[in-house]
Amino acid sequence: MEALFDSELCSRCKGRGYCGKPCPILAKFKFLGKTKTHFSGSSPPEIFVGRFNYPNINTGILSPQQHGDTESYSLPELWHSKNFSIEKILSLRSELIYARAKSKVKDARKSSRFLQLMQEISMASKHIDTEIFLKKPPRYNINPDKHVPIIGNPAPVKKIRLEENPFIPRKVEYIVGDTDAKAVVAISELYKSNIRVSNIIKVLSAGLLGQKTKRKLVPTRWAITATDDTLSKILLKKIRLYQEISEILLFHSEYVGNHYEFLLLPEKFSFEVIEAKMSGSVWNPFSKEVAIMQDYESFQGRKTYASEVTGAYYANRLALCEYLEAKKRQASCLVMRECRKEYYAPLGVGILREVSREAFKNKPEKFSTIKEALDAAQKRLKLPISIFKNKSWLLREYGKQTRLNKFF
Per-residue pLDDT at 145: 74
Angle between helix 197-205 and 349-361 (nearest 10) = 150
pLDDT (tens digit, 9 = 90+) per residue, 114-126? 999 999 999 999 9
In whole angstroms, give the CA distance from residue 226 to residue 270.
Answer: 20
For the chain, give every residue range classified as CATH 3.30.230: 244-400
Q: Is the pLDDT of residue 227 over 70?
A: yes
Burial of 9 (0-12, 13-18, 19+ CB in 10 A): middle
pLDDT (tens digit, 9 = 90+) per residue, 271-285? 999 999 999 898 888
Percent of the chain scoring above 90 in pLDDT: 80
* CATH architecture of the domain with residue range 244-400: 2-Layer Sandwich (3.30)
Q: Is the pLDDT of residue 71 over 90?
A: yes
Neighbours of 372 (CB within 10 A): 14
Q: What share of the chain is helix, strand, coil (3-state, %, to 5)?
A: 35, 25, 40
Strands (DSSP E) contained in 314-386 are: 329-330, 332-339, 365-367
Is the bond leading into 55 cis (omega within 30 degrees of zero)? Answer: yes
pLDDT (tens digit, 9 = 90+) per residue, 156-172? 999 999 999 999 999 99
| Average model confidence (pLDDT) across the chain | 91
Q: Is the pLDDT of residue 32 over 80?
A: no
Q: Is the pLDDT of residue 26 over 80?
A: no
Residue 150's pLDDT band (cuts 50, 70, 90): confident
pLDDT (tens digit, 9 = 90+) per residue, 246-303? 999 999 999 999 999 999 999 999 999 999 999 989 888 888 999 999 999 999 999 9
Per-residue pLDDT at 35: 73
Per-residue pLDDT at 19: 57
| CA 161 and chain centroid, separation | 29
